[in-house]
Structure 1
Amino acid sequence: MKEKFLGSFLVFLGACSFGVLSSIVKTAYQAGYTLGEVTGVQCFLGMLILWGSHLIVKGLNKPKATPVKHSPSTPKWKVCVVGIFPGLVGICYYQCVQLVPASIAIILLMQYLWISIIIDFVIFKNKPSTFQLLTVAIIIVGSCLAAGVLNQNIHLNFSGCLFGFLAALMYSLFITTSSNVGNDLPKLEKSALMITGACIITFLIFPPLFFFKYSISEPLYVLGFLLALLGTVLPPFLFSVGMPKIGISFSAILSAAELPIAVTCSYFYLKESVLLTQWIGVIIILIAIALLNLKNLKKGS
């Protein structure tokens, strides 16, 4: 029971960390930076932080006696390939935000909930419970309210919707692969390998010209550090520790905490107006997550 509670808490924290990103990204766009610059700096700094942390921890924990070496069963290149998915999530989602209203972009990203459960069922034969399906339906309803869909005229852009759905698909694949690949590796090393893959795919799509365009004192690097810490370093590490303890479907539902955090940050940080119906949607999502967590803990006890 304690293991599942810890796993749930870590996944929840990772989702909350993701929820802060939209406000920081919007600040970066307002400062005139481009999609490629924002995603590139985020991945690069995140990779440096994770590898630096891994090497420091590895040096501090170096045993005095020579232990018997047990080679991990997962090749490191496979974990690096997994990093393609979080790299594409950032690119697709940030592009979606530029083409459709933010509320629609968030709802499109939230579709990873049912996509993850389908992947879990089709690939791993884990049949979702009736309670899980009901929770997903409640969260989707809450998402629509929290995003303010009922309170604005919506003009959909096909390309924007496509990027949003691709972001949801990539996020689902990230949840699935992160939960099942590289669990025998040290957590920091696993996270560093994944973000290395994310950095590679990002630089292939957007060559890192910002290295030559901006000085180290540029605000881009400050915003990039915040994005790296809250979007690249903490969530993958927390997910890699927490997801194997609770499974894919439950992890996907807990990750829905991203939306209420995003709405709350937009209200307090960006000073955007948030209507009563949006707050009701936030409360509905939090209640659904809490009920599922309590049911899981009760089952474990």
Structure 2
Amino acid sequence: MKNFIFPLMIVIASSSYGILSTIVKVAMQHGFTSAEAITSQYVFGFALALLLFIATQRTIPKLNKSGAITLALAGALTATTGIVYGQSLNYLPASLAVVLLFQFTWIGLFIDCALKKRLPSRPEAISLVFLFAGTILAAGIVDVDLSAIAWQGWVLGLISAVSFALFIQINSRQVEGVSMIGRTFFISIVALLVISIALTPEIIWNGQLFGAGLWKFGLALGTFGIILPILLFSIAIPKVGGGLASILSAMELPVAILVSMIVLKEELSPLQFVGIALVLIGMVLPSYLSMRQGQKVQ
């Protein structure tokens, strides 16, 4: 049972990311822009992280140079993924943007293999086949004409995938002397700074955040987009490794699709349900095969 605790944490963290797109869409239905919604996510993510930090930490941890660089990169990559993915939606249909983002699964695995100077294991390779096929079907782009899509959309979509894959790898590094809550707090500071430069920090003082009711969406986005995933990723990724974490994080896709179906009343085709099933199989395979191999060795 203990073998599944850390993979389960990654599944929960990635599932919380899957809720975000629906929350942003609901915020847009209430008259807010995607940039305003995303900015509110990082504002409340920082505020919640600050409260947790004050409530649980008695002293400010001393970071060495390596730890500071790790946390700064993690925060910058968290913000960059949100910014670039949001920009890609200006050029891409949402379904194709999701497909491009989810290329982080194989990108993250290959980065992990390159850093550790190894080849993908057989379970990982089989898993990627299921994930790739499932992603294409689940996103519903089989019958979509892609010829008229601008090149900027392809580039931005793939950059978001690389950014998220790098975030997973950076977050797999241990930082000495910093608790998980402290780690979340420092990451949220850097992410808020990057978002404030790139998007719409004026929501803090122009009345949008509280006067217009944006805070409700910001609170939900901050909880499910900053606090919960960063805490769980920080605990679990060092235990399972960046390669398996990239595969397990694919849970974000089926959750995103199912939540949009329930909340936004979007229809799903039979092929999309097949795709979700393939993604789930691809996620479970590495852990299952590794467990069976371990049992044989014993």
TM-score by length of 2: 0.91
1:173 matched to 2:166? The reply is: yes
Q: Which residue is 1:289 aligned to?
A: 283
Describe the shift of the 1:248–1:190 C-alpha distance in structure 2 as closer, same or farther (beyond 3 A).
same
8 Å CA contact retained: 2:39, 2:196 = yes
Distance 2:174 2:271 in 1: 40
Shift of 1:266: 1.2
Conserved? CA contact 1:35–1:91, under 8 Å: no
Q: Which amino acid aligns with 1:43?
A: Y
Equivalent residue, structure 2, for 1:65: none
Q: C-alpha separation between the residues in 1 aligned to 2:57 and 2:163?
A: 31
Q: Pick one of 216, 221, 224 that aligns with 1:230.
A: 224
The alpha-carbon deviation at position 94 of structure 1 amounts to 1.6
1:80, 1:195 within 8 Å by CA — same for their partners in 2? no
Asked if structure 2 preserves the Cα contact closer than 8 Å seen for 1:35 and 1:95, the reply is: no
- Residue 40 (structure 1) aligns with: 39
Aligned residues of 1:113 and 1:172 also touching (Cα < 8 A): yes
Decide which of 57, 74, 89 is 1:82's aligned counterpart. Answer: 74
Matched residues in 1 for 2:276 and 2:62: separation?
45
- Cα distance, 1:180 vs. partner? 1.2
Q: How does 1:1-301 map to 2 (within 5 A)?
A: 2=2, 4-59=3-58, 74-76=66-68, 78-154=70-146, 155-182=148-175, 184-215=177-208, 216-301=210-295
Q: Which amino acid aligns with 2:272?
A: Q
Q: Tell me which amino acid in the other structure corresponds to 2:122.
A: T
Residues 190, 259 of structure 1: alpha-carbon distance in 2 compared, 3 angstrom cutoff = same
The 4+ residue runs of structure 1 with deviation greater than 6 A are none
| Aligned 8 A contact 2:103 2:158 in 1 | yes
In structure 2, the residue matched to 1:66 is: none
Counterpart contact for 1:12–1:254, Cα < 8 Å: yes
Following the alignment from structure 2 to structure 1, what is the Cα–Cα distance between the partners of residues 176 and 265?
41
Alignment CA distance shift 1:32-1:9 (3 Å):
same
| CA spacing shift, 1:93–1:46, aligned 2, 3 Å | same
Question: Contact conserved, 1:183 with 1:240, CA < 8 A, in 2?
Answer: no
Shift of 1:300: 4.7
CA contact (8 A) 2:43 2:192 kept: yes
The residue type equivalent to 2:241 in the other structure is G
| 1:206-246 deviations in Å (ceiling 9; x for gaps) | 25111222251422111111111111111111100010110
Which amino acid in the other structure matches residue 284 of structure 1? L
Alignment TM-score, normalising by the size of structure 1: 0.90
Aligned length: 291
Instruction: For residues 118-145 of structure 1, give each alpha carbon's deviation from its aligned partner in whole angstroms, at most 9, with x where no partner exists.
Output: 2112223243102201211210100000
Deviation at 1:54, TM superposition (A): 1.9
Q: Is the 8 A contact 2:16 2:225 kept in 1?
A: yes
Task: Give the root-mean-square deviation of aligned CA atoms.
Answer: 2.0
Distance 1:297 1:191, change over 3 A: farther
Query: Alpha carbons of 1:183 and 1:173: their partners in 2 closer, same or farther (altered >3 Å)?
Result: farther
CA distance in 1, matches of 2:203, 2:294: 50
Distance 1:47 1:14 in 2: 17
